Each structure stands twice: as structure tokens, then as C-alpha cells.
Amino acid sequence: MIRYPRHLTFELTAKCNFRCPYCYCVWHEFPALGRPELDVGGWLRILDKCAADGVKDILFTGGETLLRKDLVEIVDAARTRLPDATFSLFTNASRLTASLIDSFKERRVSLATSLQGLRTYGEMTGTRRKFNRLLSVLATASEHEWPMAVSMTITKANCDEAADMFVAAALSGASRIQMGAMMAEGRGREHLDLMLTREEWERVKASIRELPDAHVPYSFCEEFICACRTQPEDFLRKWSDPHHKPCPAGRDFGVVGPNGKFRACLHTVEEIT
Ligand code: SF4
């Protein structure tokens, strides 16, 4: 049986109440990887193995984590088994409330979310929602002294407002910002027309670097395609990273999918036993 690496991501559910066109979750291409969804007992067994293997940090993600009614039970079980581990939780924040923020703060679980757009928020989430609520959740988290990290996926639709998105997240209290171009993975493979070229991505990065210093740490993610997956020739031609270094996926970090099976990373599709 595989020994878990020190850094793990738990994909707690494949369900989501958003339909982001760029969502890279693997089950959009390979539905079997998202089911059957493990029940709480299954996650407790995974957590026992985490304790035995010396896992040091866990990112809880999905799908949308807050759709799981037993989320707090799983987090508490994780804390009991791994008292010194670092935990973080990714959510689209649609169901995140002030009292939930306090409860995650009490449990030492850092929070992260996405800002998908401003004018384009509805289009980029596949919903009729507006961005205002997300910014208000960021401000609440900051007021409760548990500020959230924010990630942004840049596409052809929202690239013109990327700098405004950055400023909005920073002014609303984001603790840090990660920005990346949409990847040709998951549901993104049905929306390749939204992919940026490398030149467009460089222009987005330049527009962020030109902003006045907002005193919020930020980073860029350079992956357009997963280098660990076998990729079509035209994808490699258009989107491979010229500076790609060998990837430590599966050794330094890994993913436990909604069905409890281990994969090397969020984008790889082989299950490892
Ligand atoms: S990117 Fe996140 S919020 Fe959007 S559909 Fe995928 S899991 Fe849901």
C-alpha cells in the first residue's frame, strides 16, 4: 500500500453548486474518479493512515467543501488524529458565514477561496451570482482576524479586469493572492476558447506588477497543462511550460479523491494503490 506523502489534499466531494467553465477537477473528464463519495467513516480510516504515515498538512477541497454536512466532524477527527498538522480549507464561499469563519478559526483551519471575476463573475461561475457577496465574505473574514487567501483563474473573458479583480480582493482583506491562467484540464477541455496564450498571460502579469503596492503577498502559477499527464501534441505545442522542472507530485504531495483513492496530483487521473 502506498505511504502518503507529507502534504495531502482531500477532495471531500465532487459536488459543487457552481459551474465554472474552467474548473480543472478531473471528474469532469473521468466521472468514475469522483464516485462513490466516501462517507465519514471512510475519511476517518484515511485519517488514521495519515497519522500512521506522518502527514504534516492537509488541504480540504472539492468540489465545494461546504456542501458536506459532516465537514466539521471530519475536520475535528483530523485535528484529534493530527494535533500539530496544518489544515486549510478551500471553498467557493457561497455558503460561508461569519459563524463558520469563527468555527474554522477556533479549529485552526486557514481559509481560501476564488474570485472568478467582477463583471464576469456570473459567466465565470456558471451562475447568476454577483461578486459582491464574495468580497463581503472576504471583508468579514478579515474583520474576524481570520483573513482568507484568494486565487484567481484568468481566462479570455476576465483578463481585461484581472487588475481590478486583484485590487478588489486586496482591498477586501485577502491575506494573499494567487493568480494563474486557466488550465486545459477538467471542464476546461470543453472551453478551450477561453484559454489565454502565453503572450496574453505575460500581459496580465505585467498589469499586476504595475499596480501600486497593496501590501498583499501574491504569486503566479505558470501551469497551463499538467506536465505529469500524457497530453495531446497540439496542447504541448501551445501550452507547455518552457521552464518546467521535474514535478514532485506523488512523492512530496498527493491527493485523496472523493472516492478515497490516492492520485499524484489534482490533475493526474491514475489512481495509485
Ligand atoms: S472551480 Fe471550484 S467553485 Fe468552480 S465549479 Fe470547480 S469546484 Fe466548483
Mutation test of ligand 1: which of 23, 150, 152, 194 has the most ligand atoms closer than 8 Å to its C-beta? Answer: 23
What's the gap in Å between 24 CA and the centre of ligand 1?
8
What's the gap in Å between 63 CA and the centre of ligand 1?
6
At 249 the pLDDT is 81
pLDDT digits (tens, 9 = 90+) for 148-164: 999 999 999 999 999 99
Residues of the chain with pLDDT > 70, as a percent, come to 100
Pick from 270, 197, 272: nearest CA to 230:
270
Question: pLDDT at residue 273 above 80?
Answer: no
Question: pLDDT at residue 229 above 90?
Answer: no
State the closest ligand 1 atom to the C-alpha of 16, by its place in the atom list counted from 1.
Answer: 8
Pick from 262, 203, 206, 195: nearest CA to 46:
262
| Model pTM score | 0.95
Distances (CA, A) of 233 to 9, 40, 86, 250: 29, 41, 39, 24
Question: Going by DSSP bridges, is the β-strand pair 176-181/149-154 parallel, antiparallel, or unpaired?
Answer: parallel
Identify the band that residue 216 occupies on the pLDDT scale cut at 50, 70 and 90.
very high
For ligand 1, residues with CB inside 6 Å are 16, 18-20, 23, 25, 62-64, 92
- Give the three-state DSSP class for 50: helix
What's the gap in Å between 87 CA and the centre of ligand 1?
20
Domain 7-263 of CATH type 3.20.20.70: yes
Mutation test of ligand 1: which of 10, 20, 26, 267 has the most ligand atoms closer than 8 Å to its C-beta? Answer: 20
What's the gap in Å between 212 CA and the centre of ligand 1?
30
Could you tell me the residue ranges of all domains in the chain? 7-263
With residues binned 3-state (H G I as helix, E B as strand, rest as coil), the percentages for the chain, rounded to 5, are 35, 15, 45
Identify the band that residue 246 occupies on the pLDDT scale cut at 50, 70 and 90.
confident
pLDDT digits (tens, 9 = 90+) for 61-95: 999 999 999 999 999 999 999 999 999 999 999 99
Identify the band that residue 261 occupies on the pLDDT scale cut at 50, 70 and 90.
very high
Question: pLDDT at residue 242 above 80?
Answer: no
Please name the residue whose Cα sits nearest to atom 6 of ligand 1: 23
User: Which is more confidently placed, 189 or 245?
Assistant: 189
Residues with Cβ within 8 Å of 245's Cβ and at least 6 positions away in sequence, in order, are none
Distances (CA, A) of 169 to 166, 177, 184, 252: 5, 8, 25, 30
Average pLDDT on 160-176 reads 98
At 146 the pLDDT is 98
For residue 180, what is the enclosing H or E element? Answer: strand 176-181
Pick from 2, 12, 9: nearest CA to 58:
9
What's the gap in Å between 108 CA and the centre of ligand 1?
24
At 5 the pLDDT is 96
CA distance 10 to 60: 5
Contact call for residues 250 and 3 (beta carbons, < 8 A)? no
At 244 the pLDDT is 77
Question: pLDDT at residue 240 above 90?
Answer: no
